[in-house]
Amino acid sequence: MTTSYPGRAQRKQMPSLSASPRARRAAAKRRFEMLLRMLGAVTVLMIVLLPLFWMLASSFKPNIELFQRPPSIFTANPTFEHYVELWEFTSFPRYFLNTFLVAGISCLAGVIISLITVYAITRFEFIAARVFAFGVLIIYMLPPILLALPFFRIWYNLNMLNSLWALGITYLTITLPFSLWILRPYIEAIPQALEEAAMIDGCTRFQAFRKVIVPQAWPGIVASFVFTFVVVWNELLYSLVLISDEAKRTVSLGIASLILETSVYSWGLVNAAGVLATVPVLFLFAFAARQMVSGLGAGAVKG
Amino acid sequence: MTRDRKVGLILLVPLIVLVLGLTVYPIIQVISLAFQQQGLYSQESTFVGLKNFASVVNHEGFNRSLSNTFVFAFGSLALQMGIGLPIALLLNKEFPLRTPIRGVMLFSYLVPYVVAAMTWKFMFSDSTGIINYWIRWSGLPIPASPFGSLDWAMVGVIFVNAWKNFPFMVIVFLAQLQTIDRQLYEAASVDGATAWQKFYKITLPSLLPIMLVVGMLRTIWNFNNFEVVFLLTQGGPIGRTETLPLYIYRFVFGDFSLGRGAALAVIVFFILLVMSVIYWRLYERTQGRFK
């Protein structure tokens, strides 16, 4: 994401107290522009961070202060009571486990199948890339609500509503298109000569795949896994439709139920749950920011 | 070579099986459900021809939710681009801490929809919300709790959808901005072009193709979006924000009429198919121009 500008170094070397008034005016103008940019950046940060900051601050407030008018920004008596309540008196620990399980199943399966498929397509070329790309695109565009109806019916007929396995398999419709899109450029970039050399040296095709393709495509593999994990972690509609058993809820569904089912909800509890649902996502982002940014733009810009 | 082709075919089997099972079969099923009278939990179904389509199209809520969907999809798109483009231009400039700010800017795109909806609902809520309090305190002519207001609920859901998704625009625009040759700007400066002329003659033309493509993609995603409206207003007050995905959800899981819900879903699918074809054409055209 970063680009270095050759102009920067020169500008810094230029003495700020140069003789001519024209140069001084230009320097003042540049400083003013820089100030404007900083102000703009602060505004952007405020827009993005205000709700998240408010959620974090509120999750530590005692119940009385949550309803205080005017609202206090920082609490004088921070408390962990909402987190304790969430951990001990609700099923949220269970929801976290469920979501990790479901996201793990569908993302791992999605990445493995995509890896095999992209490999086959780029190395054996019997499906025109155009058909492949268009097909994936169509899946990508399908309204989730359109698929949710038949999936409800299918899992109902198989008596697998409320099954986390069924939910995980259903999530493949989300994870597969993403990981296919993300992985393709990585695998296309690996020169075929590299594998051929390995095979001439006596590797089988599978060994060549494992020892050449997998390590070379590793950044792409990480990118698809991390990105699809976040998408599944955040998903709501399929879990809303397929899961009605309280013990099988995902985190998103658990929070949605807190918001929707009770009219007078405990905002402290909801905020604490929101904070905990956000932590894994931001953690993954901190861990693989560069790969995730490449994933975010993948569907739109890369062909 | 023939043995190689066989290996390749075998490697494609898992994907083909999954696409058949998880996409083709469900689509066939939903299309066939659309022609049947079918309760959500009942096993028996009867073929009713086009009756489901007729009944959903003539239902009083159909036109309303169709127009709501277009307002929501294009309103969100306009706001997402309106916020995204200036921010992309800003973040393309040079200033201290630019890289971390670019990262933090993505947070709203990364957090779950439930978190986005919950925090905004909380901040606008009557008894606890800080923005609600600020609006009341400042006396601005906007409602302090927009999600319950007849005229402002749609503005509210569009706003939250834009807040959630504008970073996508920024990423795509930034990627494109970085491909513009800096010498073009230098040449323009030498010729005495103003900042506005440089934007209008260099920046905008090179962004336009990607704007078309991303705009189409985002329109389709906004069109399909269920979470934002469902969590903030559930389509209310009195249907003012009910979009097609919510309308389908209400038919199926509120009225237990799977057949009519399926008919509606098929209609939505065809609207989106037309949009996808347009998207694909635009995409290929821009690709061709820049090769």
Contact yes or no for A261/A190 (Cβ under 8 A): no
Q: Which residue of B has its CA nearest to A33?
A: B95
Answer whether B290 touches A (CB < 8 Å).
no
Q: Which of residues 99-138 of B touch A (CB under 8 A)?
A: 99, 101-123, 125, 127-130, 133, 137
Mean confidence (pLDDT) of chain A: 82
Which among B23, B133, B245 is the nearest to A143, CB-wise?
Answer: B245
pLDDT at B42 over 50: yes
Mean pLDDT of A220-236: 89
What is the pLDDT, as a whole number, of residue B134?
86
Asked whether residue A179 is domain-assigned, the answer is yes
Q: What was the pLDDT predicted at B24?
A: 87
User: Is residue A74 domain-resident?
Assistant: no
Residue A46, SS3 per DSSP: helix
Is A57 domain-assigned? no
Answer yes or no: do A28 and A161 share one domain: no
Average pLDDT over residues A219-239: 89
Same domain, A100 and A39: no
Q: What is the pLDDT, as a whole number, of residue B130?
A: 83
Report CB contact under 8 Å: B111, A120.
no
**What are the tokens at A74?**
């920082």
Whether A17 shows a pLDDT value over 70: the answer reads no
Number of neighbouring beta carbons within 10 Å of residue B136: 16
In CATH, what number is assigned to the domain containing residue A114?
A: 1.10.3720.10
Residues A163 and B43 sit within 8 Å (Cβ to Cβ): no
Domain membership flag for residue A227: yes
> In this structure, is residue A76 part of a structural domain?
no
Chain B closest-CA separation from residue A19 CA (Å): 23
Query: Who's near A44: CB < 8 A, 6+ residues apart?
Result: B87, B90, B91, B101, B105
Mean pLDDT of A154-167: 89
Distance from CA of A75 to the nearest CA of B (A): 14
CA closest to B178 among chain A residues: A3
A107 found inside a domain: yes
A99 in the same domain as A41: no
The C-alpha atoms of residue A270 and residue A276 are separated, in whole angstroms, by: 10
The predicted structure's pLDDT at residue A8:
47
Beta bridge partners of B37: B46
Contact B14, A116 (CB under 8 A): yes
Nearest residue of B to residue A114, measured between CA atoms: B15
Out of A2, A67, A126, closest to residue B8 by CB = A126
Residue A111 above 90 pLDDT? yes
What whole-number distance in Å separates Cα of residue A143 and Cα of residue A171?
A: 14
- Which DSSP symbol is given to A72? P
Check residue A16 and give its pLDDT: 53
Instruction: Give tens-digit pLDDT for A266-276.
Output: 888 889 999 99
Q: At residue A97, does pLDDT exceed 90?
A: yes
Report the residue of chain B nearest A206, measured CA to CA.
Answer: B7
Please tell me whether residues A36 and A95 are part of one structural domain. Answer: no
Closest CA to A302 of A191, A214, A223: A223
Q: Are residues A20 and A133 in the same domain?
A: no
Of B94, B172, B276, the CB nearest to A297: B172
With CB atoms and an 8 Å threshold, state whether B113 touches A234.
yes
Band of pLDDT at residue A300, cut at 50, 70 and 90: very low
Mean pLDDT for the stretch of residues B193-199: 84
**In this structure, are residues B170 and B91 in contact, taking their beta carbons and an 8 Å threshold?**
yes
- Are residues A12 and A154 part of one domain? no
Q: What's the rounded Cα separation, in Å, for the pair A258 and A272?
A: 12
Same structural domain, A157 and A40: no
Q: Which CATH superfamily is domain B61-289 in?
A: MetI-like (1.10.3720.10)
Strands B36-38 and B45-47, sheet pairing: antiparallel
A164 and A35 part of one domain? no
Predicted pLDDT at B154: 92
Position B72 scores a pLDDT of 95
| 30-69 of B, contacting A, C-beta below 8 A | 30, 33, 40-41
**Number of structural domains chain A divides into:** 2
Q: What SS3 class is residue A226?
A: helix
Using the predicted structure, report yes or no on whether residue A6 has a pLDDT greater than 50: no
Residue by residue, DSSP assigns A194-258 as HHHHHHHTT--HHHHIIIIIHHHTHHHHHHHHHHHHHHHHH--HHHHHH---GGG--HHHHHHHH
DSSP-derived secondary structure letter, B190: H
What per-residue string of b and e applies to A274-285 under the rule 16 or more CB within 10 Å gives b?
bbbbbebbbebb
- B96–A146 CB contact, under 8 Å: no
Please give the share of chain A, as a percent, with pLDDT higher than 70: 84
Domain residue ranges in chain B: 61-289
For residue A259 the two structure tokens come to 């918001």
Q: What is the pLDDT of residue A262?
A: 63
Tally of CB atoms within 10 A around B214: 26
pLDDT band at A9 (very low <50, low <70, confident <90, very high): very low
CA dihedral B228, B233, B236, B240 (to 10 degrees): -50
**B97-116: pLDDT as tens digits:** 888 888 888 899 889 999 99
Arithmetic mean of pLDDT over chain B = 85
Domain containing residue A277: 90-301
- Give me the pLDDT at residue A14, please: 52
Q: What's the rounded mean pLDDT across residues B54-68? A: 87
Residue in chain B nearest A227 by alpha carbon: B110
